[in-house]
Amino acid sequence: MKNIQAAIFDIGNVLLFFDYMKAAGRLMERNRLETLPDRARITAINYRLEIGEISTAEFLSLVRP
């Protein structure tokens, strides 16, 4: 019998719900922005990040105002 060395979980919207727009709203307040980012645009960019199509740096450059 083998010993388990590690267990890896994808928590965000797999095991636990994560509302990206709630986080965006808080960032909006903190950065004194007047409008929320477009949800569909952010979701599409986030998907590209999650499948490895873009890097974290590219993601940030695309979502920052």
Of the two residues 47 and 6, the one the predictor is more confident about is 47
56 Cβ neighbours under 8 A, 6+ residues apart: 49
pLDDT band at residue 6 using 50, 70 and 90 as cut-offs: confident
Confidence (pLDDT) at 53:
97
The residue among 54, 33, 21 whose CA lies nearest residue 62 is 54
Taking only the tens place, the pLDDT of each residue in 13-64 is 777 888 877 887 888 888 888 887 788 998 899 999 999 999 999 999 998 8
Confidence (pLDDT) at 65:
67
Of the two residues 29 and 12, the one the predictor is more confident about is 29
Identify whether the C-beta of residue 62 lies closer than 8 Å to the C-beta of residue 43. no
